[in-house]
């Protein structure tokens, strides 16, 4: 009440409108900064995509601990047998690579099959925090059987796509 007597009713409304404007600026600035932080950098899904590719190949080859009867282990074509498509119209070169290796219980290689850009394989040896723009690799090993014989399955999946996933 004392301030109204000193500055008057109009003066009090002007001061309140300045504070009201200041609060609106703070709220708008907070919303802008949250949106910028949220959308400012792209999400890097390459690790998840490499794991998904590995799981897709594992599900294609083995079901419930058994090699699927439709799979010819001596001649596996990853693209055709697993219905994979490594073509991406956004890029001029293939951004994926997968390798499948089958071993008998004596660790002798039975079969090997690969698909995609084999040049990406060298990125797996260098992958670390210093090389964020290199391809992401995922290696899995699982065990299965065919006709009662144990088989070790090793799957390597690599996804590059660094132009869209890193800054």
How many beta carbons lie within 10 A of that of residue 133, not counting itself? Answer: 11
User: Cβ neighbours of residue 25 under 8 Å, at least 6 residues apart?
Assistant: none
- As a whole number of angstroms, the distance between CA 32 and CA 51 comes to 34
Q: Is the pLDDT of residue 77 over 90?
A: no
Percentage above 90 pLDDT, the chain: 23
Global confidence as pTM: 0.71
The pLDDT assigned to 19 comes to 83
- Show the tokens assigned to 20: 């009201």
Q: Is the pLDDT of residue 51 over 90?
A: yes
Answer positive or negative: Cα dihedral of 34, 47, 95, 126: positive
Number of H helices, E strands in the chain: 5, 6
* 113-123 average pLDDT score: 86
């Amino acid at each position: 009440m004392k301030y109204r007597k000193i500055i008057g009713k109009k003066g009090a409304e002007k001061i309140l409108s300045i504070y009201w404007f200041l609060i609106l600026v703070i709220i708008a600035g907070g919303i802008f900064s949250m949106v910028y932080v949220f959308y400012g950098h792209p999400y890097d899904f390459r690790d998840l995509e490499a794991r998904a590719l590995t799981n897709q190949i594992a599900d294609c080859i083995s079901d419930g601990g058994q090699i699927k009867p439709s799979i010819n282990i001596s001649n596996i074509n990853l693209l055709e047998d697993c219905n994979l498509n490594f073509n991406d119209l956004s890029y001029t070169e293939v951004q994926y690579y997968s390798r499948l290796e089958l071993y008998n219980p004596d660790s002798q290689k039975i079969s090997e099959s690969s698909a995609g850009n084999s040049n990406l394989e060298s990125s797996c040896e260098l992958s670390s925090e210093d090389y964020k723009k290199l391809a992401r690799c995922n290696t899995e090993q699982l065990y299965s059987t065919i006709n009662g014989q144990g088989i070790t399955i090793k799957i390597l999946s690599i996804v590059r796509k660094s132009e869209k996933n890193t800054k």
